[in-house]
């Protein structure tokens, strides 16, 4: 025993000594690095104030770029083949302007969420891609990113001048700025994608209301009984909002604040955001679910829809004639391109729900943004590099499209044309560096910009012009996580068949569903959500 104890203690000691050495050296490096490059401005100020008031360069803190710095930019996805080639070109410019080089590192799409967090933990990168779907808010609150408010004026003046203040505000978490968004406005508005050629051929109405949607599907069914109508599943309905994809069509009926309204069967209209009402308990809901049953009985979707796997190519291959969930203008454009390639006599059309209800706004700015990692050893230089890549037209085009002449050219119509498979459009996946002023237009952008213009017009007329008033709201469900999960289960089990119309007695099933949901803790979730939402509306002045 004594021997083992001795041995263990020796090993423990060794471990401690090792860890001390490791930590010590790291700390030392950081201090050394930070002083010359970073805090010189501040230190000068205080020193000067005390000792020597005669020469005071306090107005403009000098930016010291004498030391060459290698930066790492962590981005999502896979690397392009010509990564090194383009990086060399970028580095030529960066070395000349700010004496820094940049290396793009790619997450790949395998386990990206885990690797993204590991990357932040190890702190080896300087700049990092952030987005709302990448848990930006949570990470920022946890302190993963550097606060930028004070650094921006000094190190990224061009960004400050280019990026609209409203956009920057959207990137703030608890009042602090942690990221720089791209400035390309996107309207990722949900809607219905349908087959325009069939609609014209059979002389059917545009599906711009529930009645017309029914008439459209019914018309096709009558003329061509073998044609599949909808391939709706539960694939897009995993949250706490809907349980079956077809329920998305009710966005045609209600001017809800956000697609499918709030979780837990709550809802509020865009024009009266603070006025939250109960959708699941309303007469409307019963009526809507009866409609779903009618549609299911008419055979609009398969009887096994609840267990069918999602087939996201079904519209492309003609297995369905409309898609109602998870659609956006880009998917419509993809469909247009696909049809042109494979079935030239088919046409796709897109109707955004907002075109009917008048509730439309651009996507949140935090969809694509860049943050500086807190552990970055050269945050100032990273910010300067970001400033250049974002606001210098040559550099921005180089990063986004590669080398002109090698990877792309601008054709006679002024559109981007790819020349090489080795570096495609936005080959570095830097969607966060999309600068609206410099973005090279693609041919497909034409259709997109037409759609965006149409949406912007509608968006201008809303009560809060072109603002996604829901975007900054994050539900904090730490305290009722268990209830929330239980409600989600109940929805999957009881609400899904109701929304899929696969029940006999709609009213009885709804009553049963609500009873089960209440037992699972629905009321707790609702009350907490309402409270948080009310506080949010109060804070931002949405009434």
Partner 1 sequence: MKIRDSKSTIIFKIVIYTLLTLGALICVFPFIVIISGSFTDNHTILTEGYGILPKNFTVAAYQTIFKAPQDILQAYMMTFYYTIQGTSVGLIMITMTAYVISRPEFKYRNNISFMIYFTSIFGGGIIPWYLMYSKVLGLKETTGGSMIAIWFPALMSPFLIILMRTFIKASVPDAISESAKIDGAGHMTIFFKIVLPVLGPGIATVGLFLALGYWNDWFRSSMFSTSSKTWELQFYLYDLLNATQALKQMAQNTSISTADLPTQSVKLAMAVVATGPVLLFYPFVQRYFVSGITIGAVKG
How many angstroms separate the CA atoms of 390 and 429, rounded? 14
In the range 91-120, which residues lie near partner 1 by CB under 8 A? 105, 108-112, 114-115, 118
Asked whether position 121 contacts partner 1 by CB under 8 A, the answer is: yes
Among 7, 200, 453, 511, binds partner 1 (CB under 8 A): 7
**Binders of partner 1: how many residues, by CB under 8 A?**
47
Asked whether position 126 contacts partner 1 by CB under 8 A, the answer is: no
Among 15, 22, 534, 535, binds partner 1 (CB under 8 A): 22
User: Closest separation between CB of residue 334 and partner 1, Å?
Assistant: 6
Q: Any idea what the Cα angle at residue 87 is, between residues 369 and 152, rounded to 5°?
A: 35
User: Closest separation between CB of residue 513 and partner 1, Å?
Assistant: 28
**Between 379 and 427, CB nearer to partner 1:** 427
Q: Are β-strands 191-195 and 322-323 bridged in parallel, bridged antiparallel, or unpaired?
A: antiparallel
Mark residues 168-187: x for contact with partner 1 by CB under 8 A, - for none.
Answer: ------------------x-
How many angstroms separate the CA atoms of 4 and 100, rounded? 53
User: Closest separation between CB of residue 132 and partner 1, Å?
Assistant: 8
Among 122, 138, 169, 304, binds partner 1 (CB under 8 A): 122
In the range 251-310, which residues lie near partner 1 by CB under 8 A? none
Encoded tokens for 251: 């966005």
From 41-49, 401-409, 421-429, 489-497, give the range in contact with partner 1 by CB under 8 A.
421-429
Among 45, 64, 79, 374, binds partner 1 (CB under 8 A): 79
User: Closest separation between CB of residue 401 and partner 1, Å?
Assistant: 12
Among 101, 367, 370, 430, binds partner 1 (CB under 8 A): 367
- Number of residues that make up the chain: 543
Asked whether position 535 contacts partner 1 by CB under 8 A, the answer is: no
User: Closest separation between CB of residue 284 and partner 1, Å?
Assistant: 27
The torsion region of residue 172 among left (phi > 0), alpha (psi -120 to 50) and beta comes to beta
Contact assessment for residue 407 and residue 419, using Cβ atoms and an 8 Å cutoff: yes
Q: Which residues pair with 176 in a beta bridge?
A: 173
**Between 4 and 161, CB nearer to partner 1:** 4
Q: Are β-strands 179-181 and 369-372 bridged in parallel, bridged antiparallel, or unpaired?
A: antiparallel
Phi/psi at 309 (5° precision): -75, 155
Among 3, 31, 52, 62, binds partner 1 (CB under 8 A): 3
- Which residues are CB-contacts of 287 (< 8 A; sequence separation ≥ 6)? none
User: Closest separation between CB of residue 326 and partner 1, Å?
Assistant: 5
DSSP string, 185-211: ------EEEEEHHHHHHTT-----SHH
Encoded tokens for 30: 């950081």
Asked whether position 368 contacts partner 1 by CB under 8 A, the answer is: yes
Mark residues 303-332: x for contact with partner 1 by CB under 8 A, - for none.
Answer: --------xxx--xxxx------x-xxxx-
User: Closest separation between CB of residue 247 and partner 1, Å?
Assistant: 17
Contact assessment for residue 286 and residue 506, using Cβ atoms and an 8 Å cutoff: yes
**Between 354 and 521, CB nearer to partner 1:** 354
User: Closest separation between CB of residue 75 and partner 1, Å?
Assistant: 13
Long-range pairs for 106-109: beta carbons < 8 A, 24 or more residues apart: 106/75, 106/76, 106/77, 106/78, 106/79, 106/429, 107/74, 107/75, 107/76, 107/77, 108/77, 108/78, 109/76, 109/77, 109/78
**Between 204 and 247, CB nearer to partner 1:** 247
DSSP string, 222-283: HH-TTS------STT--SSS-SSGGGGGGGGT--BSSTT--GGGEE-BTTSTT--EESTTSH
Mark residues 426-445: x for contact with partner 1 by CB under 8 A, - for none.
Answer: x----x--------------
Encoded tokens for 36: 């010359």
**Between 247 and 296, CB nearer to partner 1:** 247
The torsion region of residue 100 among left (phi > 0), alpha (psi -120 to 50) and beta comes to beta
Contact assessment for residue 366 and residue 132, using Cβ atoms and an 8 Å cutoff: yes
**Between 32 and 313, CB nearer to partner 1:** 313
User: Closest separation between CB of residue 78 and partner 1, Å?
Assistant: 6
Among 164, 287, 342, 409, binds partner 1 (CB under 8 A): 342
**Between 313 and 515, CB nearer to partner 1:** 313
Q: What is the DSSP letter of 77?
A: S
How many angstroms separate the CA atoms of 42 and 103, rounded? 29
**Between 175 and 309, CB nearer to partner 1:** 309
Asked whether position 242 contacts partner 1 by CB under 8 A, the answer is: no
Binding residues for partner 1, per CB under 8 A?
3-4, 7, 22, 77-79, 83, 105, 108-112, 114-115, 118, 121-122, 124, 133, 186, 188, 311-313, 316-319, 326, 328-331, 334, 337-338, 342, 363, 367-368, 424-426, 431, 448
């Amino acid at each position: 025993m004594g021997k083992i104890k001795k041995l263990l203690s020796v090993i423990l000691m060794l471990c401690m000594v090792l860890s001390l050495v490791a930590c010590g050296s790291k700390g030392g490096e950081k201090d050394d690095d930070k002083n010359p490059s970073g805090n010189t401005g501040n230190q000068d100020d205080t020193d000067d104030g005390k000792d020597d008031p005669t020469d005071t360069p306090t107005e403009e803190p000098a930016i010291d770029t004498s030391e060459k710095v290698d930066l790492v930019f962590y981005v999502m996805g896979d690397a392009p083949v010509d990564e090194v080639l383009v990086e060399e070109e970028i580095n030529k410019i960066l070395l000349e302007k700010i004496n820094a080089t940049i290396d793009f590192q790619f997450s790949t799409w395998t386990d990206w969420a885990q690797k993204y967090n590991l990357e932040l933990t190890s702190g080896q990168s300087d700049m990092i891609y952030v987005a709302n779907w990448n848990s930006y808010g949570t990470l920022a609150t946890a302190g993963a990113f550097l606060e930028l408010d004070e650094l921006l004026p000094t190190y990224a003046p061009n960004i400050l001048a280019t990026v609209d203040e409203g956009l920057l505000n959207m990137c703030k978490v608890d009042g602090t700025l942690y990221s720089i968004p791209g400035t390309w406005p996107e309207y990722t508005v949900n809607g219905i994608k349908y087959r325009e050629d069939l609609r014209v051929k059979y002389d059917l109405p545009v599906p711009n209301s529930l009645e017309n949607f029914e008439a459209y599907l019914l018309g096709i069914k009558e003329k061509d009984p073998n044609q599949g109508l909808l391939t709706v599943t539960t694939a897009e309905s995993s949250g706490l909002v809907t349980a079956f994809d077809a329920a998305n069509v009710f966005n045609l009926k209600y001017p809800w604040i956000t697609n499918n309204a709030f979780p837990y069967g709550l809802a509020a209209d865009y024009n009266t955001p603070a006025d939250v009402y109960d959708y699941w308990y309303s007469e409307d809901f019963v009526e809507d679910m009866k409609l779903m049953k009618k549609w299911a009985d008419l055979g609009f979707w398969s009887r096994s829809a609840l267990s069918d796997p999602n087939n996201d190519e079904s519209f492309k291959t003609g297995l369905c004639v409309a898609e109602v969930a998870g659609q956006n203008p880009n998917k419509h454009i993809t469909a247009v391109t696909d049809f042109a390639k494979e079935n030239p006599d088919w046409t796709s059309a897109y109707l955004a729900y907002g075109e009917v209800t008048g509730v439309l706004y651009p996507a949140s700015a935090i969809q694509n943004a860049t943050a500086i990692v807190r552990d970055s050893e050269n945050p100032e230089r990273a910010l300067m590099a970001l400033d250049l890549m974002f606001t210098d037209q040559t550099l921005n085009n180089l990063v986004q499209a590669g080398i002109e002449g090698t990877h792309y050219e601008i054709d006679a119509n002024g559109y981007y044309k790819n020349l090489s498979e080795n570096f495609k459009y936005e080959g570095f996946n830097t969607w966060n560096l999309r600068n609206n002023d410099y973005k090279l237009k693609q041919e497909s952008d034409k259709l997109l910009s037409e759609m965006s213009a149409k949406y912007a017009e509608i968006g201008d007329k809303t009560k809060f012009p072109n603002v996604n008033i829901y975007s900054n709201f994050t539900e904090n469900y730490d305290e009722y996580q268990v209830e929330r999960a239980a409600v989600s289960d109940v929805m999957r089990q009881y609400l899904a068949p109701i929304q899929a119309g696969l029940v006999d007695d709609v009213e009885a099933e709804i009553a049963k569903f609500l009873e089960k949901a209440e037992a699972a803790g629905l009321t707790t979730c609702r009350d907490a959500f309402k409270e948080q939402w009310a506080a949010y509306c109060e804070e931002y002045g949405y009434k």
